[in-house]
Structure 1
Amino acid sequence: MSTDNRHGDEAAGLGVEDGIRTLLLLMPRMVGRAKRIKIPPELESFSLAPRHLSLFAFLLFDGPMTVNALAARLEVAPATVSLMVGELSRQGILRREADESDRRRTIVSISDEHRPAIDGWLARGAGAWRRALEPLTPAQRRMFVDTLEAYEQGLDGT
């Protein structure tokens, strides 16, 4: 393996094996820290899980949307999202309203009452990503995101 160039000049770069070693050590620490982000007290009684964070993030960043649109973004079956939305709407975390342009469709959104707590819960992670991504060029950000997606796909064996 090559030497650790973490503190060297940019031209030195990082060898593949050193990158793998560094990331294999870094990823568990990142996941551990992310898991330690506390659920806001006002949401603790709702038995929320990591799968809910993704659903909340889409609704916060992209706004209200249909169950089918959420399912496509979450890459799960609409029935799965429908069950999650049903559970969360019964608890008052999400709102379901008929789509004015097509009354057969339901639009899902975060309830006004719980939006600040959910926004605060996601803000720490969003702030960390913002600090990490802002110094990069758009092309570097694209490469970083593509690399993480390739890693995720590699874990799935796809």
Structure 2
Amino acid sequence: MLVLMPRLVQRVKRTTVPERLRSMNLAPRHLSLLAHLVFDGPALVNELAARLEVAPTTVSLMVGDLSRAGVLERQADPSDRRRTIVSLTQDPETRKAVNHWLARGSDAWREAFDPLSPEERALFVRTLEAYENATSAEAD
């Protein structure tokens, strides 16, 4: 695992950005933000920050960059105008490019999990979470 994990991380970092998105200087951190919006739908900046485990200001900066690039849209929360709801753009070509970017990783996980039982999948996820928690404890 000590050899495999760094290889996996490097492979993800080398994931090719689709042509439509290439000029936007997107990085793997943007991929994580976009994945949450694609799979979970629109969210508040604070919700995204909690999911990504980063400061809300970091998410705000990424959202600003992606909004200017036409990848994301921001709108005020109707129930509290001080909060901002972030969503993927409605532009079909940009949405298609984002989905294509995410598909490779999603398809790979689907292929890896397909032969496993639900119990085995749950064990795998718990194991990765335990590893993450152990490495996080070291950093503290």
Interval containing the TM-score (normalised by the shorter chain): 0.7 to 0.9
Q: For residues 49-102 of structure 1, what are the alpha-carbon distances to aligned partners after superposition, in whole Å with 9 as ceiling and x for unaligned?
A: 111111000000000011011111111111111111112112211100122333
CA distance in 2, matches of 1:80, 1:31: 21
Unpaired runs of 5+ residues, structure 1, are 1-22
Q: More displaced, 42-51 or 101-110? A: 101-110
Aligned residue in 1 for 2:131? 151
Aligned residue in 2 for 1:91? 69
CA distance in 2, matches of 1:34, 1:79: 25
> Does structure 1 residue 49 correspond to structure 2 residue 49?
no
Q: For residues 109-129 of structure 1, what are the alpha-carbon distances to aligned partners after superposition, in whole Å with 9 as ceiling and x for unaligned?
A: 111222111110010000000
| 1:136 partner amino acid | L
Give the paired residue count.
Answer: 136
Choose between structure 1 and 2 for higher RCO, CA contacts under 8 A separated by at least 6 residues.
2
Q: For residues 31-59 of structure 1, what are the alpha-carbon distances to aligned partners after superposition, in whole Å with 9 as ceiling and x for unaligned?
A: 33323321001111111111111100000
Unpaired runs of 5+ residues, structure 2, are none
Within 5 Å, give how 1:17-28 maps onto structure 2. 23-28=1-6
Aligned residue in 1 for 2:48? 70
Q: Which runs of 4+ in 1 moved over 4 A?
A: none
Q: Secondary structure at the match of 2:15?
A: coil
TM-score by length of 2: 0.87
Aligned residue in 1 for 2:120? 140
CA distance in 2, matches of 1:55, 1:111: 13
CA distance in 2, matches of 1:147, 1:72: 21
CA distance in 1, matches of 2:53, 2:8: 23
Q: Secondary structure at the match of 1:105?
A: strand
Q: Which structure has the bigger radius of gyration?
A: 1
Choose which of 18, 21, 29 in structure 1 pairs with 2:7: 29
